[in-house]
Amino acid sequence: DTGVSQNPRHKITKRGQNVTFRCDPISEHNRLYWYRQTLGQGPEFLTYFQNEAQLEKSRLLSDRFSAERPKGSFSTLEIQRTEQGDSAMYLCASSSWMSFSTDTQYFGPGTRLTVL
Amino acid sequence: KQEVTQIPAALSVPEGENLVLNCSFTDSAIYNLQWFRQDPGKGLTSLLLIQSSQREQTSGRLNASLDKSSGRSTLYIAASQPGDSATYLCAVNAQGGSEKLVFGKGTKLTVNP
């Protein structure tokens, strides 16, 4: 068990460019979450998947953002036409969910995005 | 809407001191509450998870308590060490649906040698 991994760890891009981040969850985990964290703030929920289905999206997730989890394994988060306000740490977490049971969410190291 | 508040925002203590970090939340309908540690520029490390039916959890020098009815939790750190310096985040797991975590802004702890 290598934990949750995220790539790249850092991304610097120019305003207007598209970027894509990848998250590989812990292998047996069926839930995957994306959060965004800006400086001095706690992480804020963006979206989550149960297996391959995207079940909830936050109002923070504008139409420039899209997330996928093909085959219920890794997930990608794409931001189109990046804006300076998108600069943040993007965190991925995974958990093992069963009915009437909750488990700890395990977080990856994050991808730090800087939009110039 | 669930809101989580952490007090104080920053805390500086000498090595060896016992300390308490506070967390409050506005909606008592939670599945559980978690305390995380975050080092600068890094991801989150889970420290303790307290289910809504529990009153406290302990791990080593850490003890977390939960008073669900009053919407409060505390994280007690005994015999603090410089290696404990980090930001500590409290998060509640909202009931129903996604079980997304709602975080406070954190308490930045500095333990001075």
Tokens of A43: 């992480």
**Cβ atoms within 10 Å, residue A8:** 13
DSSP state of A104: P
Q: Does B105 touch chain A if contact means CB atoms closer than 8 Å?
A: yes
Q: Which helix (H) or strand (E) holds A51?
A: none
If we measure between CA atoms, which residue out of A103, A33, A18 comes closest to residue A75? A33
What are the angstrom distances between the C-alpha of B37 and each of A54, B43, B97, B104? 28, 9, 26, 12
Q: What is the identity of the amino acid at A29? A: H
Query: How do residues B32-59 score in pLDDT, each as one tens digit?
Result: 899 999 999 889 999 999 988 899 999 9
Q: Does A110 touch chain B if contact means CB atoms closer than 8 Å?
A: yes
- Please state which of the ranges A34-38, B56-60, B90-94 shows the lowest mean pLDDT: B90-94
Q: Which residue of B has its CA nearest to A97?
A: B99
Interchain CB distance below 8 Å, B46 and A105: yes
Give the Cα separation of A112 and B18 in Å (integer).
34
Whether the per-residue pLDDT at B13 is higher than 90: the answer is yes
Give the Cα separation of A78 and B85 in Å (integer).
34
Query: Collapsing DSSP states into helix, strand and coil, what is residue A71?
Result: helix
Query: How do residues A73-97 score in pLDDT, each as one tens digit?
Result: 999 999 999 999 999 999 999 988 7
Give the Cα separation of B77 and B15 in Å (integer).
11
Among the partner residues B46, B102, B103, nearest to A104 by beta-carbon distance: B46
Q: Strand B62-67 vs strand B72-77: parallel, antiparallel, or unpaired?
A: antiparallel
CB interface of A with B, residues 49-68, below 8 Å: 55-56
CA gyration radius for chain A? 14
Q: What is the identity of the amino acid at B26? A: T
Q: Does B44 touch chain A if contact means CB atoms closer than 8 Å?
A: yes
Strand partners, A99: none
Interchain CB distance below 8 Å, A48 and B98: yes
Give the Cα separation of B84 and B86 in Å (integer).
6
CA distance B17 to chain A (A): 25
* Residues on chain B touching A112 (C-beta within 8 angstroms): 41
Q: Tell me, what's the pLDDT at A72?
A: 84
Which of B30, B46, B53, B100 to probe the A interface (max A CBs under 10 A)? B100
